[in-house]
Amino acid sequence: MADRTIFERIIDGALPATIVLETERAAAFLDANPLAPGHTLVVPREPYERLRDAPAEVSSSLFEAVRTLAPAVEDAVDADATTIGLNDGTAAGQEVPHLHVHIIPRFEGDGGGSIHTAMGSRPDLSDEEMIDIGDRIAAHIE
């Protein structure tokens, strides 16, 4: 079917990928364009586009798989650390519209930065603005 996401087709076996974990609700496979050896993508089987779209049982299973995989990936490639990230929405750099978590092995001196380097600048917020933002976040929790 034409409207199936790339990741659905990988899970179904219609597209080739190196699959490293399959659970009832999630799957994981190596990124085809790795940022480091072992760069792994963890996805829900169902094609929710964004984290906010996934029901609790799906997001729980997704992050349980991330917890299982992060040390396995790190140990498999003898990495020193791991960056775990999720580009949640196109403005955040999401290119594949099927929710996925990146597990990226990190090595001392690999030249990469922390997730803080994903942003170009930092806002200068007053104490009042911080409190207001915090209040609004709390009010939006469903």
Q: Catalytic amino acids? A: 100
Nearby residues of 38 by Cβ (< 8 Å), 6 or more positions away = 30, 73, 74, 76, 77, 79, 103, 105
- Residue closer to ligand 5GP by CB (options 33, 114) is 33
- The correct pick among 4, 21, 23, 31 for binding ligand 5GP (CB under 6 A) is 31
Site for ligand 5GP (CB under 6 A): how many residues? 15
Nearer CB in complex with ligand 5GP: 29/48: 29
Q: Which of residues 64, 94, 106, 110 is near ligand 5GP by CB under 6 A?
A: 94
Q: Which residues pair with 37 in a beta bridge?
A: none
- Subset of 69-88 contacting ligand 5GP (CB under 6 A): 87
Place of tokens 């399959």: 22
Q: Which residues bind ligand 5GP (CB under 6 A)?
A: 6, 10, 15, 17, 29-33, 41, 87, 93-96
